[in-house]
Amino acid sequence: MPHIHYLPDKKEIETKENETILEASLRNGIPHAHSCGGNARCSVCRVLILEGLKTCALRNEKEQKVAEHLHFGPEIRLACQTTVAGDVRLRRLVLDDEDVELTSQLKGGTPSPAGEEKELAILFADIRGFTSFAETLLPYDVVYVLNRYFHEMDQVISCNSGYIDNYMGDGLIALFGVDDSANAALNAIRAGLGMLKAVKYLKPYLETIYAKSFQIGIGLHYGEVVLGTVGARNLKKLTAIGDAVNFASRIEALTKNTGTNFLVSEAVYTQVKDQVCIGKSTCMEVAGKCGEHNLYEVVGIK
């Protein structure tokens, strides 16, 4: 059977037939990081083949896709996808204990992913003109207003089976479908409409105290994300990563240009079109995305 010599471990092991390099590492107790669970969906298991590249099996389709995306040279291989037919000398590229602790999800010797690929409804909300609103307020008042606003939004979102993933200044991202994906899009629509209503009720209150108020813009998209735990040590939290999250944020930004408060993507619209009332619909370019995209203004539930 072929042998693999590992650097910096300075360890040599024997492989089994049809075993990937990652499987061989884990079977032999080598702390080989594997964030996606060996599915060619990350690149942390990558190795640099120092000798014996010709004995490595050719890249499969999944590995080729990652290699092209990250511009890997031929000597960089994904250990979770590569089998060897002869002796190989390689270097693991995730090197220190800190990296291993952060990226390894070794459970019982078998690879398991650091995240989960899931289809979710992603809602992005932002306060319009908050900077000019906040400029005239004392900093403690700004904190008070934001806390009051986020409290109201959280109530509405959690009542509709959503979860606030993140706050960014005066913006927030909420996810729907984390635990139960049934009706995720419709729940997010209900939440969005509820948020607009809550802001409307908050307005007279803010105007009484500060003689001014604000509006919000909401963008909603449905798509695939990687749901994973991100952050340092005690600050780790569940969060969604992926292009679908960026798309929701870009849609929100377009509410200003389109004179709307709540815009949804085609992916949302096709799921809820029989249940919601649509105002404007438009087809336009979305920053960072190719081509034009259909967007729909949601004004109510039927």
The contact set with ligand FES (CB under 6 A) reads: 34-36, 38, 40-45, 78, 80
CB atoms near residue 125 (< 10 Å): 28
Instruction: Give the CB-nearest residue to ligand FES.
Output: 80
Q: What is the dihedral of CA 220, 293, 115, 110, to 10 degrees?
A: 150
**CB atoms inside a 10 Å sphere around CB 37:** 19
Q: How many CA atoms lie within 13 A of 92 on its CB side?
A: 27
Cβ atoms < 10 Å from Cβ of 184: 25
Whether 43 and 62 have beta carbons less than 8 Å apart is answered as: no
- Shortest reach from residue 55's CB to ligand FES, in Å: 19
In the complex, the smallest distance separating the C-beta of residue 164 from ligand FES, rounded to whole angstroms, is 29
Nearer to ligand FES by Cβ, of 171 and 242: the residue is 242
CB of 38 to ligand FES, least distance (A): 5
What is the DSSP secondary structure assignment for residue 233, as one 8-state letter?
G
**Residue placing its CB nearer to ligand FES in the complex, 42 or 254:** 42
Please state the closest distance from residue 21 (CB atom) to ligand FES, in A: 10
For residues 110 and 281, which CB has a smaller minimum distance to ligand FES in the complex? 110
Q: Closer to ligand FES at the Cβ: 25 or 161? A: 25
Specify the residue, 73 or 291, whose C-beta has the smaller distance to ligand FES. Answer: 73
CB 78 within 8 A of CB 72: no
Q: How far is the CB of 105 from ligand FES (least distance, A)?
A: 9
Greatest distance between any 2 Cα atoms in the chain: 80
